Amino acid sequence: MKVKLLLILFACAIELLLLRLGFWQLERANEKQLHTVQMQEIVASKKAINLAQINLTSQKLEWVNGRIFFLNKPIILLDNQRNEQQVGVTVYQLAHNDAKQEFLVELGWLAVSGNREFPKPEVLQGEHFVSGLLLPAPAAGFALGEAVSSLDEHTFLATRIDTDALSKQLAKPLATRVLRIDPALDIGFERSLTVSSNTLSPEKHRAYAFQWFGLALAFLCLSLYVLKRKKV
């Protein structure tokens, strides 16, 4: 009886875990849907706030404009970014606003060659008046290994945008939000205001949720069959 009870408890724990993972994916789908709608509304209205007056440590989505000053280094390449079916990198460069707050500016996407030869984008310099979407740094996903490594003295290769890790690497405070430059501006590279880097769509999250629920149902049926047929 003790062994049977342990098996039942084990099966219940696995079943609850599978169900929890399914509901978690549904929660993430709802969050992403809300995020997408909010982003589309902000981009459509383009009601700008002056960048010098913004709290860059907030996690809000805001359309901003204002003067920024690009720093000479480093260039940061966020690896494994897809555009259609092609793999590339998203390019970031450090800048500061009139309030001397330093943050990352997302300049757009560049392709990576088949032999993994990384592009060498031109470093932007000096003062620019820009507009764009201020948003939290891209989600890290499963954070394995170092967030950032050095390609050369001017370029970092990042597996994720971890502002804390970058702050330590640069030995200076760095804002937790990034500025995605308006594609209408004639600087940077190919980019979109409404596509988030390294993130799953709401539809993908829902598909994963149904997979977890399917596994939960299959495991429940298997557990009932085993407990019914097996005499412990």
- What is the DSSP annotation of 215-232? HHHHHHHHHHHHHHH---
pLDDT at residue 142, as a whole number: 52
Query: Is the same domain home to 97 and 166?
Result: yes
Give dist(CA 163, CA 34) in Å, integer: 24
- Contacting residues for 29 by C-beta, under 8 A, at least 6 apart: 202, 203, 205, 206, 209
- Contacting residues for 194 by C-beta, under 8 A, at least 6 apart: 36, 39, 40, 43
Query: Is the same domain home to 125 and 221?
Result: no
Q: For residue 78, tell me if it sits in a domain.
A: yes
Give dist(CA 181, CA 192) in Å, integer: 9
Q: For residue 38, tell me if it sits in a domain.
A: no
Q: For residue 212, tell me if it sits in a domain.
A: yes
pLDDT at residue 194, as a whole number: 64
Both tokens of 78, joined, read 């966020």
Q: For residue 41, tell me if it sits in a domain.
A: no
pLDDT at residue 114, as a whole number: 73
Q: For residue 76, tell me if it sits in a domain.
A: yes
**Which range marks the domain in which residue 138 is found?**
47-199
Task: Name the H helices within 155-198.
Answer: 163-170
As for how many domains the chain has, the answer is 2
Query: Is the same domain home to 51 and 105?
Result: yes
Query: Is the same domain home to 76 and 189?
Result: yes
Look up residue 122 and give its DSSP letter.
Answer: P
Query: Is the same domain home to 77 and 135?
Result: yes
- Chain-centroid distance, C-alpha 119: 21
Query: Is the same domain home to 179 and 224?
Result: no
pLDDT at residue 23, as a whole number: 92
Query: Is the same domain home to 194 and 212?
Result: no
The bridge status of strand 126-136 relative to strand 102-111 is unpaired
pLDDT at residue 93, as a whole number: 92
Give dist(CA 205, CA 33) in Å, integer: 10
Query: Is the same domain home to 60 and 161?
Result: yes
Query: Is the same domain home to 207 and 219?
Result: yes
Query: Is the same domain home to 163 and 186?
Result: yes
pLDDT at residue 199, as a whole number: 64
Q: Which helix (H) or strand (E) holds 40?
A: helix 2-45
Both tokens of 165, joined, read 């890790």
Asked whether the whole model's pTM tops 0.75, one would answer no
Query: Is the same domain home to 188 and 116?
Result: yes
Q: For residue 117, tell me if it sits in a domain.
A: yes
- Count the alpha carbons within 13 Å of 145 in the hemisphere toward its beta carbon: 6
Q: For residue 73, tell me if it sits in a domain.
A: yes
Q: For residue 186, tell me if it sits in a domain.
A: yes
Phi, psi of 51 (to 5 degrees): -60, -30
Q: Give pLDDT < 50 ranges for the chain.
A: 232
Residue with tokens 């949720």: 209
> In terms of Cα–Cα distance, which of 140, 130, 82 is closest to 106?
130
